Structure 1
């Protein structure tokens, strides 16, 4: 079985100037656009340095959150799935990535609703896919998505995202095939039974949204204790700046579709 992080390709979208007005759950200041653009460029460069072919789509100023391509689709070697994001301001985004996905995947499936699902709530494990219910992913959407995943040959389970955690993957990320980094609120997640759950260090809960790419785990550069924890486990890490994208409730997995 191919590891769920053995990626060869990624699809990103350059941030538009409107990105500084992206969604955020708790308000707060706008990110700096120059800083946001620099963080995105560093992210794309890191993926390429790790051996991926990365295509960067043009910015979409009408959709401030469009640089977070992961929320509008899922991509696998077997095909892609267009999602239905749960935030009303993102409802039209999927149609703007349709052509790019169709050009790169032999099969393109699509959610039809009425439910919603965000890619940030979807965690790919070695043997199955976990869909977290959240403010952006409802049960109707999760069940439709589970059926589409089955069409592509992927088993799916539905989990509950803890209160206060925006997306399921805001609170967890894959270290390797059998190990999860998670916030304490997800320590007893039933879908993690049989896996080792490593908890985020105190004060570094926001570090949970790591991104495993091939043999390397990308981690926000502020999370020194988390990075030291991973290094002590023999995991190769690469620190990337995330200060500006954090202003708009995003992390490392959000900025690309990978397969």
Structure 2
């Protein structure tokens, strides 16, 4: 069960965020409303939400998932692979927020890079995607820190997606949403895999929060498959965040 969530209000410069898609620039006012609705959905799922102030020097800073990994034993400050985001991991208010909940804070150091959008937690085990943003040095540092605290991790090679959790979502109870390259990845054979069609691939990024599953708006087949598993679904519009490579998981730290 998750008790706490940390989010950050979108920057007024969100339209300058990094993107690999050609879907136009996000509209700040719409992003704000969508973010407020996201926080409301999390609250409905029964967690305490800490809301951090926007940081206008960092257009991508609403994607707090990438700058820290929150485990049952410690928080790990990452070192993002995107140069424009590396200072986000050092913002004092994020560290202050994490120290409210954790006695132990660990750090990924140079030359390692890790963005926690590449990390999927399954109980005490963590799958770490190697991507343009997460390198092998960063992944090995992360695994060493996890093992130091009695947890475990393993590396997953990526070839098609930006982040591991772009194409995977663990919904607890051994259910795993899979899209694209992950449908046949050998690491995930033991899961009950729910295959996501290519035309709804973005919908593979959902989040489980205390028996609720937040699902992005506009992906009815994904929604139906999750409802068929017996979960309570909350649909959240993330269209403005999609324009800068963001999804539901990117917008929060959940622990």
What band does the TM-score fall into relative to the shorter chain? Answer: over 0.9
Matching residue within 212, 217, 221 for 1:216: 212
Per-residue deviation at 1:35? 0.7
Shift of 1:115: 1.3
Determine the C-alpha separation between the residues in 2 that align with 1:176 and 1:139: 27
Taking the aligned partners of 2:45 and 2:249, their CA distance within structure 1 comes to 15
Give the Cα separation in 2 of the matches to 1:201 and 1:234.
20
TM-superposition CA deviations, 1:201-251 (whole Å, max 9, x none): 341011010100010111011001110111122222111001111001000
* Alpha-carbon offset, residue 176 of structure 1: 2.1
| Equivalent residues in 2 for 1:165-204, closer than 5 Å | 165-204=161-200
Q: CA deviation at 1:127?
A: 4.2
Query: What corresponds to 2:128 in structure 1?
Result: 131
Separation (CA, whole Å) in 2 of partners of 1:113 and 1:192:
30
Return structure 1 stretches of 4+ with deviation > 3 angstroms.
none
Q: Given that residues 125 and 177 in structure 1 are in contact (C-alpha distance below 8 angstroms), is that contact kept between their aligned partners in structure 2? A: no
Q: How far apart, in 2, do the equivalents of 1:145 and 1:27 lie?
A: 33
Q: Residues 126 and 177 of structure 1 are in contact (CA less than 8 Å); yes or no, is this contact kept in structure 2?
A: no
Which among 102, 108, 111 is matched to residue 111 of structure 1?
108
Provide, for residues 159-215 of structure 1, a one-character-per-residue CA deviation record: whole Å limited to 9, x for no partner: 01232x110000010122311101031112222131121110341011010100010
Q: Tell me how far apart the structure 2 counterparts of residues 152 and 43 of structure 1 sit (CA, whole Å).
A: 32
**2:73 corresponds to which residue?**
78
- Residues 20-72 of structure 1: CA deviation (Å, up to 9, x unaligned): 21110134411111110111111111111111010101111111111110000
1:10 paired to 2:5: yes
Show the counterpart of 1:101: 98
> Which runs of no fewer than 5 residues in structure 2 stay unpaired?
none
In 2, distance between residues paired with 1:74 and 1:121? 10
Answer yes or no: is 1:229 the counterpart of 2:225.
yes
| Structure-1 separation of matches of 2:105 and 2:123 | 22
Distance 2:229 2:98 in 1: 36
Aligned mate of 2:201, from 192, 200, 205: 205
CA distance in 2, matches of 1:23, 1:67: 12
Give the one of 139, 149, 154 matched to 1:152.
Answer: 149
TM-score (norm 1): 0.94
Answer yes or no: is 1:49 the counterpart of 2:44: yes
Other structure's SS at 1:37 match = helix
Paired residues of 1:209 and 1:253 also in contact (CA < 8 A): yes
